[in-house]
Amino acid sequence: MVDTDIPSGAAAGTPGGPVGRRSAPVKASKRAWATAASGRTAALLVSPTLLVLTVVVLYPTVMAFKESLYGTKGLDPKTGFISDTEPFVGLQNYADIFGEAGDRFWNAFWNTTFFTVVTVGLETLIGVSMALIMHKAFSGRALIRASILIPWAVPTAISGLLWRWIFNSDGIANALIGRQVLWTTEGFHAKVAVIIAEVWKTSPFIGLLVLAGLQVIPKEVYEAARLDGAGPLAQFWRITLPLVKPALLVAVLFRCLDALRMFDLPYLLIGAQKNSVETLSMLAQNEASNVRFGPAAAYAVLLFLYVFLIALGFVRLLGTDLVGDVGGPKAKRKNKLRRTAVSGGAEASA
């Protein structure tokens, strides 16, 4: 999967068509004189990386999946002792989420999804605006850049505590809005509190990555646009946004993955075991802390799969987009070729 993506990505990464065309024959010739010996060397060279990945990624994942097939240690009512071994229950822990006990899981699942969609959406809007401000040349720019980045530099645990003071019953938040909202109690306001704190903290991250994307856009493009009579709005929609899109998508992908495993902020700001803000990570942690490692592992595996699917979707999206940007001739798959042809035709006719 990764292997097939690399060539298209690499080819697409070069902005100009001729460069891409030139690099293709070079690759082909390399492949021609690659002997079995050099292949072995290559395998040998990547093997340390693969070994490390096996130990730190694959092994824990496999172990977590194995653990998720075991149930909770039972109590022997006669002796009063917990048995030494965990019973093998197969996929029971996974099946349980569709039963009565699954309410908590689905609540956590929706909370996680809700937080991810809302916070990443808001962060993208605010982050892009921040980047546009930071990109403009004006006096005091360095100061603005630094101050926008401060929230990102504060550790989440600390910002969770800071926001807890702000959302205290006698806190600044209530003083500002002029009425008493008990933010840290159960209810929708608890979600709002988490979203505000999370957006405050992580918008600078998107801002930073988008700023990097903005800085590589050549000035000539804007000059040409101005000559053609494009206003600031048209410049943003037609030039800035399409050209900054790869950087923006990477930023959004990172934020999504981060938001999906959100734990510390709701845990510190609102508290453990609050249904309104319990995320999948918090649920898994709570199960593990009650010495139910099987169900905890099952939740963790499900979260892993969820994150994996989202990441996969993004990589697909990213790949498609980049291929689309380069244009028709480079697109390998037939349907993609057709799609770009159609959109190209539409553009031409418009």
Partner 1 sequence: MNARTTRVLQCSAVLVAAGLVLTACGSSGGDSSSGQSKSPSFTGRGPITFAAAKDSSGVVQKVMDSWNAQHPKEKVTFVQLPADVNQQRQQMIQNAETKSDAYTVLWMDVVWTSEFAAHQWIDQLPADQFPLDKMLKPVVETGKYRGNLYAVPQSSDGGVLYYRTDLLKKAGISAAPTTWAEMKADCAKVKQLPEAKDLDCYAGQFQKYEGLTVNFAEAVNSAGGVITAASGKPDVDTPAAKKGLDFLVDSFKDGTIPKEAITYQEEEGRQAFQSGKLIFLRNWPYVYSLAEKSKVAGKFAVAPLPGLTGAGSSSLGGHNVALSSFAKNKATALDFMKFFTSEASAATFLKDASMAPPYGSLYDDAALVKQYPYLPVLKKSILGAVPRPRVVQYGDASSAIQQEAYAALNGDKSSAQALKDLQSELQKSAAQ
The residues that touch partner 1, with contacts defined as CB under 8 A, are 3, 31, 34, 36, 39-40, 42-43, 46-47, 50-51, 54-55, 58-59, 62-63, 66, 72-75, 80-82, 84-85, 168-170, 180, 182, 184-186, 271-274, 286, 289-291
Minimum CB separation of residue 169 from partner 1 in Å reads 4
Minimum CB separation of residue 311 from partner 1 in Å reads 19
Nearer to partner 1 by Cβ, of 123 and 278: the residue is 278
**Residues near 23 by Cβ (< 8 Å), separated by ≥ 6?**
10, 11, 14
Identify residue 144 by its one-letter amino acid code. I
Nearer to partner 1 by Cβ, of 193 and 210: the residue is 193
Minimum CB separation of residue 263 from partner 1 in Å reads 14
Nearer to partner 1 by Cβ, of 14 and 174: the residue is 174
Give the pair of three-digit tokens for residue 60.
């824990």
The gap from C-alpha 51 to its chain's centroid, in whole angstroms, comes to 26
Minimum CB separation of residue 62 from partner 1 in Å reads 5
Nearer to partner 1 by Cβ, of 39 and 232: the residue is 39
DSSP label at residue 54: I
Minimum CB separation of residue 33 from partner 1 in Å reads 12
Nearer to partner 1 by Cβ, of 38 and 343: the residue is 38
**Residues near 247 by Cβ (< 8 Å), separated by ≥ 6?**
209, 210, 212, 213
Minimum CB separation of residue 166 from partner 1 in Å reads 13
Nearer to partner 1 by Cβ, of 235 and 285: the residue is 285
Nearer to partner 1 by Cβ, of 50 and 158: the residue is 50
Minimum CB separation of residue 19 from partner 1 in Å reads 21
Minimum CB separation of residue 193 from partner 1 in Å reads 12
> Where is 349: in which H helix or E strand?
helix 334-349
Spatial distance between the Cα atoms of 325 and 51, rounded to a whole number of angstroms:
36
Minimum CB separation of residue 59 from partner 1 in Å reads 5
Q: 134 φ, ψ to 5°? A: -65, -30
Spatial distance between the Cα atoms of 144 and 126, rounded to a whole number of angstroms:
15
The gap from C-alpha 195 to its chain's centroid, in whole angstroms, comes to 16
Residue 194 exposed, middle or buried by CB count within 10 Å (0-12, 13-18, 19+): buried
- Show the DSSP H helices in the chain as ranges: 2-13, 17-33, 36-53, 59-67, 92-95, 103-135, 141-153, 156-166, 172-177, 188-215, 219-227, 232-235, 241-260, 264-269, 280-289, 293-326, 334-349
Nearer to partner 1 by Cβ, of 81 and 237: the residue is 81
Spatial distance between the Cα atoms of 321 and 338, rounded to a whole number of angstroms:
14
Nearer to partner 1 by Cβ, of 147 and 273: the residue is 273
For residues 275 and 107, the answer to whether their CB atoms sit within 8 Å is yes
